[in-house]
Chain A
Amino acid sequence: MSVINLLETLAKQSALANLSTEQLTTLVTQAELTAEQQTAIINSDVKALEQLLKLEQIKCYIYKKDVPDEDDVPDEEEAPNNEEIKQAI
């Protein structure tokens, strides 16, 4: 089993949700990973695991502009004024 498949298996099976370190160690040892990979997983050392697999780092997690696009904003005329809101109540 590859590192990715092990991470997937650990995440999707309820029986594996709350493993003790001993249980995790047993599972990891059975997964045919290198000794370094096993140690990184058991120690939850994500950075080391990324380096061992030579994975590209995520540069940016941000996908939203702070200013809305024109068509996201209602026309001012469409917005009810305070008087109209009061009358509605």
Chain B
Amino acid sequence: MNDTGSTSNNLNELTAKQGSLVCVGIGMLLGAHLTPICKSHIEDADVVFISGNNAFIKEWLSQLNNNVVDLQEYYQEGKSRSLTYDQMSEIMLAAMREGKKVVGAFYGHPGVFVTPAHKAIKQATKEGYFAKMEAGISAEDCLIADCGIDPGSVGLASFEANQFIRFKRQVDNSAYLVLWQVGVVGDCNLTRFSTGSEYRAVLVDVLLQHYPQEHPVILYQAATLAIEKTIINKLPLKDIIDAEVNQCTTLIIPPCKRLVVNKQVMEKLQQLDKQRTTPSLTAIK
């Protein structure tokens, strides 16, 4: 055990104000992905603010804690999601400032593409409260397992789909590209719950600068209930314009180019290898 680490943790506990905020992940599949530590935080909380990925989550988590508040009520089509995220983070902070043990339970991983969780934890820490995030199983974890992708094979980059088209990004088409929130791509006012094929056509235009139009891509949707099937829809890039896409769809674009060797670096490494003194056989014994 690291003495310094545990001492500073104890100090934190002593100096932190009453009230705390822990954001936990409940994973993607109801019943299967909740880790023991996340479950324990939910059970111990004075209040649990939830954001589920299916209609059954609220009832399920209410079995673990009888004070569950659904954050869904802050959403409204036509209202800026930026404001919604501020309200979500503010309601969690307000309960914490009242001295309560607050838990924010978000589907998937609470830190993966979740503005209100990061914002609330940052603010709580700034105000001197105990605040922490506990990891959960994200959509990306599921897609890695379901689609047989190893991010270590050629690399994998994740982007929010609208950010990806609104800003100039350096695309590495020799790695996997994962685009999140494709169902609302093009919604720059953050006021819509879905955008249509004409908006996905703009996304395809941007992608065509880096990939051929027949390049095979995957529209992925993990099951969130045991009775659902995971969707892995393989299709040519150009066909995503008219494909079925919803708020839960994630777009996976496999690489279309081979890795190119960096000769300069390779030469440097070879020189370093040559400079190393080879251990003599007697020294090895």
Contact = CB atoms under 8 A, between A and B. Distances in A.
A89 B59 contact: no
Per DSSP, are chain B's interface residues mostly helix, strand or loop, or mixed? loop
Given A10-B227, A50-B55, A56-B58, A62 B116 contact: no
Given A44-B228, A64-B181, A9 B113 contact: no
Nearest to B29: A11
B60 A56 contact: no
B163 A67 contact: yes
B107 to A, nearest CB: 8
Interface of chain A: mostly helix, strand, loop or mixed: loop
Nearest to B106: A63
A66 B55 contact: no
A61 B221 CA distance: 13
Nearest to A8: B31
Nearest to A66: B162
Given A61-B247, A64-B181, A10 B81 contact: no
A20 to B, nearest CB: 14
A10 B55 contact: no
B181 A7 contact: no
A57 to B, nearest CB: 6
B75 A59 contact: yes
Contacts of A15: none
B226 A11 contact: yes
B218 interface: no
Interface stretch (B46-54, B148-156, B205-213): B46-54
Contacts of A9: 31
Which of A44, A59, A61, A69 gathers most chain B CB within 10 Å?
Answer: A61
A38 B77 CA distance: 34
Interface in A58-89: 58-69, 89
Contacts of A58: 52-55, 72
A61 B248 contact: yes
A65 to B, nearest CB: 5
B52 A66 contact: no
A68 B163 CA distance: 9
B274 interface: no
Nearest to B185: A66
Contacts of B32: 11-12
Given A56-B55, A59-B193, A89-B264, A64 B226 contact: no
Contacts of B63: 4
Given A44-B228, A65-B82, A60 B31 contact: no
A55 interface: yes
B225 interface: yes
Interface string B169-195: 000000000001101100010100100
